[in-house]
C-alpha cells in the first residue's frame, strides 16, 4: 500500500531532531558604544533669553498693570465711600483686638487649662508672665495714645490740613479692617482663569484615552512600561507646556497625531491647544507633546517682522508666520513653485498676498499679480507690479495670456543666458543671488501669483495655453529665477493641473474638506502620513500645513496683514524700488505688448475735444470705435471704465444731452482727469 499524502507530511519524530540549545544573546563582554548624549538644560528660562518672548511677557504684564491702574483709578471715590461705611466696624474690631492684646487674652486658654488640671506651678508661671506682659503692653498702649493725641493736637494747631489727611487715612485703614472677608472693598481688576497645570499623570491619561492598545497596555503595566517613559521633565515652553517622551515600542508620533481629538479630550483641552509632533533629532518613537494655554487661533500672533521695516532677499528664508509655540516660521521663495489651497474664506488670498508682499520687499523682484476673483484683493500691490489684473472677463484673461506669453519668452531667453554663462559664474545652471543682482543679465527674480487659478485654466479659448505656460513656469521657472504661485479654492485635477500640483515645491494647505483635496495640495499620501488639513476648524483662518520647507510638513499660522497694512508695506517697497530703479510695467502704466500699440489715455484724450469738460463713457466708447475700429470694435461704456481704472481714473456723474435732445445724468469721464493721468504717467516713465 502506498503512503497517503498525510504520511509524507507527518511530523518528524523528536528523536530525529537535534535538540535546540538556547543561545545566549547578551554577551557580558559586549563593549559599550561609549557614546553618551548629554543635553544641557538652559541656564535661564526660555522667555528670559528670547527677546520676543521677553518683550511679550513684559508687554502683557505692563498692559495688565495699566489696566488695573485705570480700573481702580476710576473707582477711588466708590472705594473711599465704602471704606468710610465700614470704618465704624473696623474701629470696633481695632478696639476689641487691642483690648485682647493688652490683657494677654491669647494665653487665657493655657491659664484655664492649668486651673483645670490644678497645675499650680504652671499657673503661677503663666500668671507671672501675664503680669509682665500686661504691664509692658499697657505702657506701650498708653504711650501710643498719649503721643498720638499730642501729635494730633500739635497738627491741629500747626497744620490742620495734615490732621485731616491723617484722619482720612485712619478712617480708610479702619475701613479696610472692617471689611467682610468674603466681600472685599477692592476686588481684582483682571480675573484670571487658572488653567490646569500639565503633569505626567495628565499626559498619560490623555495618551491612554486615544485607544491605542500598546499605549494603554504600557500604562497599565506601569514602571518602564514597554518603552513608554518621559525623557525629561515637563517644562513651560512659550505659551504652553512641553512633554518629551518615548512611546511604547512600535508606536510612532504619527499614531498620536492622528488621534489629536481624543487626546485633547483626555487632556481636557480644546483640540487647537494640543500639538503632538515627532522630534526630528531623535528616534522614531520620540514624541514631543506641546499643549498650549490657548488654541492656536485664539493666541495673539506676534506682528509680522517686516511690517514696519526690513528688506528681503528672496534667496534667503523670510519669516511669514508662527508655529503653535509662536516661534517664527520662514519660507524661501526662490527655487520654488507654490501651491495654496483651501475651502473659501480660510485665508488663501491673504496668504498669497503675504507671499507677494515678501517678493515686493526684494527690490530686484518683478511682480505679476493676477486675481481672478476680481475683488481687487491684490490691488494694494499695484504700485509695485509689473503686470497686474483683477477680474475674470475675457479682456482680463486676454491681458493675462499676453503677460504669460511674455514670461514664456522670458523663460526661453533666460535658459539661453544661463547656458552661455561660464561654469565659474553659474556652477549649477541656475540663477544665483549674484546673477540675480547683475542688472545686465536680466536674471532678477520674477514672481507670478494667480489667485483662483481654476478660472483661467478653465477658460474655453485660452485655458490650455495658460495651463501650458504655467506648467512650464512650475517646472523650469525655479531654476531660471521664476516663482509661480497658484491659489485655488477648488483643489481638484481640473483646477490644479497635475503638471503644477506634482511639481510644486512649496505647498500650503489651509482647511480642506477631504483626502483628495488634501493630497492634491500637500502631495500624494500626505493624508495617510498624518498631515491632514481636514483637521482645521473653520475658525482656524490663516492656519495651514506647509510642506516643502524643511524635512517634514509643519503647521503655521500665517501673519495677518490686512489691506491697509499691505498698502503701507507696498509704499515702503515702492520706495526701495524707486531707489533701485525697478519700477516697471503696470506700476508706470504700461501693459503687456498687445496693448502697446494702443495708448488708451492718448486715444480717449483724442476723442474728447478741448471744448468738452466731460463726456459720457458710452459716447467715448463709440468715438473710440470710430477712431480705431481694429482696437476698440464692440467697446461699451464699461470697457472704457475698466481700461481707465488702472490709471486711477473713475467715472462720475456727467450732465449731457441724449441724441433725442433730452437732458440726462450719466457716468462719464472728465477730460482733466485724462490729462492729469498722462502727465503723471510720462513723469513716471521719465523717472524710470
Ligand atoms: N493669517 C490670518 N490670520 C487671521 N485671520 C486671517 C488670516 N488670513 C485671513 N484671515 C481672515 O480670513 C478671511 C478670509 O480670508 P481670504 O479672503 O484670504 O480667504 P480666501 O480663502 O481667499 O477666501 P475666498 O476663497 O473666498 O477668496 C479674511 O477676511 C481675514 O479676516
Ligand 1 atom at minimal distance to the Cα of residue 373: 27
Tell me if 605 sits within 8 A of 675, measured CB to CB.
yes
> How confident is the model at residue 546, as a pLDDT?
96
Per-residue cell: 382? 499695484
Per-residue cell: 630? 481694429
Residue closest by Cα to atom 20 of ligand 1: 345
Whether 558 lines ligand 1, by a CB cut-off of 6 Å, is yes
Say which residue the cell 508695506 belongs to: 569
Beta-strand ranges (E) seen in 572-662 are 614-616, 652-657
Ligand 1 centroid to residue 199 C-alpha, Å: 37
Q: Which among 240, 230, 235, 236 has a CA at the least distance from the CA of 273?
A: 240
Ligand 1 atom at minimal distance to the Cα of residue 377: 17
> How confident is the model at residue 146, as a pLDDT?
95
Q: Is 600 annotated as a binding residue?
A: no
pLDDT in tens, 234-260: 988 878 899 999 999 999 998 998 898
Q: Is the pLDDT of residue 625 over 90?
A: no
Tell me if 386 sits within 8 A of 400, measured CB to CB.
no
What is the mean pLDDT of the segment spanning 612-629?
A: 89
Ligand 1 atom at minimal distance to the Cα of residue 510: 21
Domain spanning 318-580 has what CATH number?
3.40.50.300
Whether 372 lines ligand 1, by a CB cut-off of 6 Å, is no
Per-residue cell: 605? 484724450
Question: Which of 297, 517, 542 should be mutated for ligand 1, with most atoms under 8 A from CB?
Answer: 542
Ligand 1 centroid to residue 494 C-alpha, Å: 23
ipTM above 0.95 for this complex: yes
Whether 511 lines ligand 1, by a CB cut-off of 6 Å, is no
Query: Which is more confident, 591 or 88?
Result: 88
Ligand 1 centroid to residue 344 C-alpha, Å: 8
Domain spanning 598-687 has what CATH number?
3.90.1150
What is the mean pLDDT of the segment spanning 428-450?
A: 93
What residues form DSSP beta bridges with 275? 290
Sign of CA dihedral 636, 641, 643, 649: positive
* Pairing of the two strands 506-509 and 543-547: antiparallel
Ligand 1 centroid to residue 354 C-alpha, Å: 11
> How far is Cα 584 from Cα 594, in angstroms, rounded to an integer?
16
pLDDT in tens, 546-557: 999 887 889 999
Element (H, E) at 55: helix 51-73
Q: Is 349 annotated as a binding residue?
A: yes
What residues form DSSP beta bridges with 450? 370, 486
Whether 345 lines ligand 1, by a CB cut-off of 6 Å, is yes
Whether 299 lines ligand 1, by a CB cut-off of 6 Å, is no
pLDDT in tens, 260-285: 889 999 999 998 899 998 887 889 99
Whether 370 lines ligand 1, by a CB cut-off of 6 Å, is no
Q: pLDDT-based confidence at 620, cuts 50/70/90?
A: very high
Q: Is 214 annotated as a binding residue?
A: no
Whether 103 lines ligand 1, by a CB cut-off of 6 Å, is no
Residue closest by Cα to atom 24 of ligand 1: 344
> How confident is the model at residue 137, as a pLDDT?
94
What residues form DSSP beta bridges with 544? 556
CATH for the 200-294 domain, from 3.40.50, 1.10.246, 3.30.980, 3.10.20: 3.30.980
Ligand 1 centroid to residue 560 C-alpha, Å: 9
Ligand 1 atom at minimal distance to the Cα of residue 301: 3
Ligand 1 atom at minimal distance to the Cα of residue 346: 21
Q: Is 391 annotated as a binding residue?
A: no
Tell me if 278 sits within 8 A of 254, measured CB to CB.
yes
Question: Which of 541, 556, 564 should be mutated for ligand 1, with most atoms under 8 A from CB?
Answer: 541
Sign of CA dihedral 561, 573, 450, 329: negative
> How far is Cα 423 from Cα 146, in angstroms, rounded to an integer?
100
Question: What pTM, to 2 d.p., does this model score?
Answer: 0.65
Burial class (CB in 10 A: 0-12, 13-18, 19+), 480: buried
Complete DSSP assignment for 290-319: EEESS-GGGSPPPPPTTTTS----TTS-EE
Burial track 567-578 (b if 16+ CB lie within 10 A, e otherwise): eebbebbbebbe
* Proportion of the chain above pLDDT 90, given as a percent: 59
Residue closest by Cα to atom 7 of ligand 1: 542
Ligand 1 centroid to residue 453 C-alpha, Å: 17
Ligand 1 centroid to residue 348 C-alpha, Å: 6
Q: pLDDT-based confidence at 24, cuts 50/70/90?
A: low
Whether 347 lines ligand 1, by a CB cut-off of 6 Å, is yes
Q: Is 344 annotated as a binding residue?
A: yes
Element (H, E) at 509: strand 506-509
> How confident is the model at residue 184, as a pLDDT?
84
> How confident is the model at residue 316, as a pLDDT?
96
> How far is Cα 108 from Cα 98, in angstroms, rounded to an integer?
15
Q: Find the Cα–Cα–Cα–Cα dihedral 152, 155, 156, 159, rounded to 10°.
A: -160
> How far is Cα 656 from Cα 663, in angstroms, rounded to an integer?
6
Taking the chain, what is the end-to-end CA distance rounded to the nearest angstrom? 107
Ligand 1 centroid to residue 492 C-alpha, Å: 20
Residue 621 sits at the vertex; the CA angle it makes with 615 and 624, to the nearest 5 degrees, is 100
Question: Which of 339, 346, 358, 559 should be mutated for ligand 1, with most atoms under 8 A from CB?
Answer: 346
| Other C-beta atoms lying within 10 Å of the C-beta of residue 227 | 15
What is the mean pLDDT of the segment spanning 206-233?
A: 88
What's the mean per-residue pLDDT of the chain? 88
**Segments making up each domain of the chain, as ranges:** 69-177, 200-294, 318-580, 598-687
Residues in the chain: 688
Amino acid at each position: 500500500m502506498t503512503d497517503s499524502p498525510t504520511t509524507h507530511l507527518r511530523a518528524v519524530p523528536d528523536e530525529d531532531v537535534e535538540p535546540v540549545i538556547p543561545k545566549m544573546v547578551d554577551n557580558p563582554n559586549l563593549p559599550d558604544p561609549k557614546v553618551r548624549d548629554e543635553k544641557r538644560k538652559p541656564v535661564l528660562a526660555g522667555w528670559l533669553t528670547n527677546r520676543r518672548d521677553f518683550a511679550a511677557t513684559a508687554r502683557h504684564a505692563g498692559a495688565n498693570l495699566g489696566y488695573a491702574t485705570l480700573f481702580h483709578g476710576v473707582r477711588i471715590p466708590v472705594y473711599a465711600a465704602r471704606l468710610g461705611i465700614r470704618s465704624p466696624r473696623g474701629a470696633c474690631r481695632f478696639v476689641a483686638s487691642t483690648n485682647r492684646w493688652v490683657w494677654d487674652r491669647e494665653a487665657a486658654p493655657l491659664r484655664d487649662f492649668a486651673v483645670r488640671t490644678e497645675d499650680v506651678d504652671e499657673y503661677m508661671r503663666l500668671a507671672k508672665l501675664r503680669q509682665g506682659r500686661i504691664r509692658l503692653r499697657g505702657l506701650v498702649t498708653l504711650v501710643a495714645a498719649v503721643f498720638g493725641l499730642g501729635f494730633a493736637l500739635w497738627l491741629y494747631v500747626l497744620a490742620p490740613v495734615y490732621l485731616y489727611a491723617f484722619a482720612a487715612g485712619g478712617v480708610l485703614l479702619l475701613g479696610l479692617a472692617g471689611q467682610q472677608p468674603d466681600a472685599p472693598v477692592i476686588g481684582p481688576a483682571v480675573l484670571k482663569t487658572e488653567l490646569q497645570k500639565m503633569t505626567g499623570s495628565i499626559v498619560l491619561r490623555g495618551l491612554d484615552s486615544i485607544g491605542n492598545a500598546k499605549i494603554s497596555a504600557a500604562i497599565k503595566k506601569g514602571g518602564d512600561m514597554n518603552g513608554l517613559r518621559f525623557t525629561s521633565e515637563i517644562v513651560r515652553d512659550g505659551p504652553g507646556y512641553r512633554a518629551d517622551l518615548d512611546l511604547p515600542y512600535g508606536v510612532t508620533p504619527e499614531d498620536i497625531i492622528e488621534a489629536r481629538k481624543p487626546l485633547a479630550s483626555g487632556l481636557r483641552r480644546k483640540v487647537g491647544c494640543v500639538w503632538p509632533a515627532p522630534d526630528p533629532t531623535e528616534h522614531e518613537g520620540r514624541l514631543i507633546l506641546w499643549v498650549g494655554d490657548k488654541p492656536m487661533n485664539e493666541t495673539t500672533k506676534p506682528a509680522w517682522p517686516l511690517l514696519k521695516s526690513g528688506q528681503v532677499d528672496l534667496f534667503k528664508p523670510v519669516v511669514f508666520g508662527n508655529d503653535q509655540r509662536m516661534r517664527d516660521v520662514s519660507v524661501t521663495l526662490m527655487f520654488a513653485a507654490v501651491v495654496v489651497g483651501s475651502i473659501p474664506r480660510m485665508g488663501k488670498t491673504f496668504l498669497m498676498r503675504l507671499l507677494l508682499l515678501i517678493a515686493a520687499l526684494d527690490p530686484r523682484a518683478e511682480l505679476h499679480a493676477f486675481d481672478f476673483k476680481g475683488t481687487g484683493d491684490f490691488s494694494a500691490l499695484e504700485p509695485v507690479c509689473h503686470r497686474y489684473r483683477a477680474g475674470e472677463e475675457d479682456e482680463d484673461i486676454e491681458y493675462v495670456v499676453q503677460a504669460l506669453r511674455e514670461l514664456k519668452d522670458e523663460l526661453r531667453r533666460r535658459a539661453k543666458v544661463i547656458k552661455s554663462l561660464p561654469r565659474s559664474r553659474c556652477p549649477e545652471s541656475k540663477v544665483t543671488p549674484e546673477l540675480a543682482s547683475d542688472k545686465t543679465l536680466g536674471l532678477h527674480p520674477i514672481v507670478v501669483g494667480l489667485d483662483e487659478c481654476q478660472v483661467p485654466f478653465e477658460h474655453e479659448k485660452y485655458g490650455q495655453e495658460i495651463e501650458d505656460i504655467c506648467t512650464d513656469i512650475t517646472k523650469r521657472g525655479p531654476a531660471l529665477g521664476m516663482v509661480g504661485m497658484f491659489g485655488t479654492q477648488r483643489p481638484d485635477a481640473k483646477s490644479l493641473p497635475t503638471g503644477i500640483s506634482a511639481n510644486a515645491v512649496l505647498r500650503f494647505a489651509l482647511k480642506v474638506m477631504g483626502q483628495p483635496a488634501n493630497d492634491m495640495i500637500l502631495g500624494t499620501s500626505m493624508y495617510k502620513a498624518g498631515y491632514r488639513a481636514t483637521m482645521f476648524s473653520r475658525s482656524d483662518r490663516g492656519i495651514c500645513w506647509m510642506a516643502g520647507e524643511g524635512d517634514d510638513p509643519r503647521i503655521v499660522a500665517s501673519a495677518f496683514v490686512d489691506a491697509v497694512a499691505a498698502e503701507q508695506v507696498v509704499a515702503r517697497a515702492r520706495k526701495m524700488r524707486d531707489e533701485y530703479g525697478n519700477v516697471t510695467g503696470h506700476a508706470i502704466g504700461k501693459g503687456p505688448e498687445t496693448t502697446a500699440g494702443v495708448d488708451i489715455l492718448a486715444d480717449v484724450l483724442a476723442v474728447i475735444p478741448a471744448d468738452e469738460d466731460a463726456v459720457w463713457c458710452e459716447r467715448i466708447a463709440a468715438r473710440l470705435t470710430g477712431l480705431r475700429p481694429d482696437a476698440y470694435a464692440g467697446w461699451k461704456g464699461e470697457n472704457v471704465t475698466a481700461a481707465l481704472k488702472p490709471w486711477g481714473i473713475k467715472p462720475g456723474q456727467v450732465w449731457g444731452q441724449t441724441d433725442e435732445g433730452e437732458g440726462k445724468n450719466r457716468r462719464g469721464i472728465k477730460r482733466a482727469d485724462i490729462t492729469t493721468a498722462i502727465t503723471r504717467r510720462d513723469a513716471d516713465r521719465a523717472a524710470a
